[in-house]
């Protein structure tokens, strides 16, 4: 599963549902297999109330992934912030430069989110990590206790730095030297630290909005692809 978000999102003006149009005639911004399932505490806008660029992005993600992650639905409550969030996400997670793999980036998110007790981000990004890494157990280990996880020395140094940033510790030369001993340069340190910082913010947004993970995330990457598709 590869999430690709639009890098430039036009600043369309938000349209509002006409008062004389019954709500029953307006579909929500996405289909839901379990409409009774709680997504979060803020209302999810109707599809026709959302700017075109946001609807287009949601439909693209849902078509490619087979479902729409709830973070899109929840953040659509505020379209301007939605655009800013995913623009920065793209800048951090989809860049080609540097020594961090996509699996590395997802593991940083899992560790940061577990440290911040964020169920949505732990469950969602553990799923993405399993898919990128082809490792069905490491993200679970990191989510429970990263100190006891089956990490190599490089991964351990990476997460140690990420969590120092996430916890608001004073970052000094010694932190950078520990990374450099495992092949990370200063630009890699920026990537590690900023991913941890961005997702520390994201974790708090998830707490604020009571964001709940999609049920689809739980089994992604745990079974052979053929079995996942059948189920």
Supply the pLDDT for residue 130: 97
Q: Give the mean pLDDT of 104-128.
A: 98
Domain final residue, candidates 54, 74, 94 = 94
CA distance 122 to 110: 5
Supply the pLDDT for residue 229: 39
Supply the pLDDT for residue 21: 33
Residue 66 belongs to domain with CATH number: 1.20.5.810
103 pLDDT more than 70: yes
Same domain, 56 and 76: yes
Residue 107 belongs to domain with CATH number: 1.20.1290.10
**Tokens 């994201």 sit at which residue?**
202
CA 200 to chain CA centroid, nearest Å: 11
Same domain, 62 and 125: no
Supply the pLDDT for residue 38: 82
Domain final residue, candidates 60, 94, 128 = 94
Number of structural domains in the chain: 2
Average pLDDT of the chain is 85
Same domain, 175 and 143: yes
Q: Give the mean pLDDT of 222-228.
A: 63
- Residue 19 within a domain: no
24 pLDDT more than 90: no
**Tokens, residue 224:** 């052979």
């Amino acid at each position: 599963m590869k999430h690709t978000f639009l890098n430039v999102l036009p600043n369309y003006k938000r349209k509002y549902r006409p008062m004389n149009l019954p709500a029953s005639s307006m579909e929500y911004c996405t289909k839901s297999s379990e409409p009774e399932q709680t997504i979060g505490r803020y209302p999810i806008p109707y599809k026709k109330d959302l700017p075109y660029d946001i609807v287009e992005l949601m439909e693209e993600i849902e078509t490619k992934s087979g479902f729409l992650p709830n973070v899109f639905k929840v953040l659509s409550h505020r379209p301007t912030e939605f655009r800013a969030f995913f623009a920065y996400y793209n800048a951090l997670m989809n860049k080609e430069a540097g020594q961090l793999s996509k699996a590395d980036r997802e593991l940083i998110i899992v560790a940061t989110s577990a440290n911040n007790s964020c169920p949505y981000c732990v469950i969602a990004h553990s799923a993405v990590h399993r898919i990128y890494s082809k490792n069905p157990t490491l993200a679970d280990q990191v989510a429970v206790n990263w100190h006891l996880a089956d990490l190599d020395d490089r991964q351990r140094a990476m997460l140690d730095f990420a969590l120092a940033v996430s916890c608001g510790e004073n970052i000094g030369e010694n932190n950078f030297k520990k990374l450099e001993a495992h092949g990370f340069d200063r630009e890699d340190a920026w990537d590690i630290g900023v991913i941890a910082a961005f997702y520390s913010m994201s974790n708090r947004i998830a707490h604020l909005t009571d964001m709940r993970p999609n049920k689809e995330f739980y089994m992604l990457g745990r079974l052979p692809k053929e079995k996942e598709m059948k189920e």
